[in-house]
């Protein structure tokens, strides 16, 4: 009978022979696992500085985002939405590219081309992102497909998974880091005019009403040291008369101004006279003071249903703004005044 020591050594020897024969680290299974957890675009992070153009398309829409050319009114470092000739929301573009650069093939669901339609990743399905460098080389070709259906009832933080693949590969993966970029040109335009400005930094707001002559100016005031920060007056109506105004009204106006956002890009501005005639400027002019700086914008005549033309001082385009936002801005003096007075 074998001793325990000899038995142990025999087991170790048999295990080593099986390990060498099967070689799990060099097997197809191990290679597949290694491939699955690797980055889909391993060089993209290093290639971002050389990127020149990004094309996003789906069944219904297509948008080209590109660096401005030598004949553009913008600098060569400015990304523009080609069809609108308008600056890109750069933060949104960087978020997309950074997200794609971090995509990993972790959950492989199919390696068959015949399954692409099922998962919404056919060449003509889903959302396709293609990116090119300055030499025209394609450095990204990626398709985001169908969202995986989930029962999210009762889940506090649901994760929406979707199917995806590299366009040059049949492998379909399931990803939890959902990136579903829009292929609509306007969605990529940077039309948040005071991005990053806090409403508390607004010191004054003036309205010039060219139709009904209901102009006014409000200014932020510093409450007395002993006063409650909640109840003390924070806003003063300085024109056309001196009066304290309701804090909520002043704060709401400041909030509306710093969140001013266009609802559409109409086209490039021409001359003031032509644009005044074409778009009905100015019906109202607003002057927003932020420290020593100010932003001026004007409202024009009605545009498409539920929107009005908008012109922002210093910018190259004519925009539209929703009637809801217009209603937030066009406060009359009576609605501004402190109801406690």
Give 171-185 pLDDT, tens digit per residue: 999 887 667 899 999
Burial call 49-66: b when 16+ CB within 10 Å, e when fewer:
eebebbbbbbeeeebbbb
State both tokens at 64. 């080209």
Chain center to CA of 292: 29
Quick one: pLDDT at residue 146?
Answer: 87
pLDDT beneath 50: ranges in the chain? 1-2, 18-19, 22-36, 340
Q: Which of 254, 320, 316, 309 is nearest to 282 (CA)?
A: 309
Facing residues of 110 across strands? 172
Helix, strand, coil percent content, the chain, rounded in steps of 5? 30, 30, 40
Quick one: pLDDT at residue 24?
Answer: 43
Q: Which of 313, 285, 312 is nearest to 213 (CA)?
A: 285
- Tell me which H or E stretch contains 97: helix 90-101
- Contact between 319 and 299 (Cβ < 8 Å): no
Quick one: pLDDT at residue 33?
Answer: 46
What's the maximum distance between 2 C-alpha atoms anywhere in the chain? 111
Facing residues of 245 across strands? 337
The DSSP symbol for 316 reads: S
Q: Model's pTM, two decimal places?
A: 0.80
Kind of pairing between the strands at 79-81 and 62-67: antiparallel
Quick one: pLDDT at residue 76?
Answer: 83
Quick one: pLDDT at residue 297?
Answer: 97
Quick one: pLDDT at residue 71?
Answer: 80
Quick one: pLDDT at residue 124?
Answer: 83
């Amino acid at each position: 009978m074998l001793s325990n020591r000899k038995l142990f050594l025999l087991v170790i020897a048999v295990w080593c022979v099986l390990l060498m024969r099967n070689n799990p680290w060099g097997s197809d299974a191990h290679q597949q696992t290694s491939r699955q957890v690797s980055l889909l675009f391993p060089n993209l992070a290093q290639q971002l500085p050389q990127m020149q153009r990004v094309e996003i398309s789906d069944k219904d829409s297509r948008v080209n985002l590109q660096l401005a050319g030598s004949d553009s009114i913008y600098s060569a470092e400015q990304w523009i939405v080609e069809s609108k000739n308008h600056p890109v929301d750069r933060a949104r573009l960087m978020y997309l590219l950074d997200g794609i650069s971090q995509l990993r093939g972790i959950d492989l669901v199919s390696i068959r081309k015949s399954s692409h339609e099922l998962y919404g990743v056919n060449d003509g399905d889903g959302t396709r992102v293609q990116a090119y460098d300055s030499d025209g080389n394609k450095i990204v070709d990626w398709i985001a497909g169908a969202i995986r259906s989930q029962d999210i009832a009762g889940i506090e933080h649901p994760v929406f998974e979707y199917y995806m693949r590299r366009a040059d590969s049949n492998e379909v993966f399931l990803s939890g880091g959902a990136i579903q970029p829009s292929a609509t040109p306007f969605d990529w335009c940077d039309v948040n005019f005071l991005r990053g400005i806090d409403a508390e930094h607004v010191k004054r707001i003036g309205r010039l009403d060219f139709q009904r002559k209901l102009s006014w100016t409000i200014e932020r005031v510093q409450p007395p040291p002993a006063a409650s920060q909640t109840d003390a007056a924070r806003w003063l109506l300085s024109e056309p008369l001196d009066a304290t105004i309701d804090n909520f009204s002043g704060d709401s106006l400041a909030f509306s101004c710093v969140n001013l956002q266009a609802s559409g890009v109409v086209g490039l501005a021409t001359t003031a006279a032509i644009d005044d005639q074409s778009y009905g400027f100015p019906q109202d002019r607003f002057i927003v003071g932020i420290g020593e700086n100010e932003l001026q914008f004007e409202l024009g005549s009605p545009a498409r249903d539920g929107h009005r033309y908008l012109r922002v001082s210093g910018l190259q385009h004519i925009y539209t703004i929703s009637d809801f936002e217009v209603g937030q801005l066009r406060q009359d003096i009576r609605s501004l005044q402190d109801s406690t007075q």
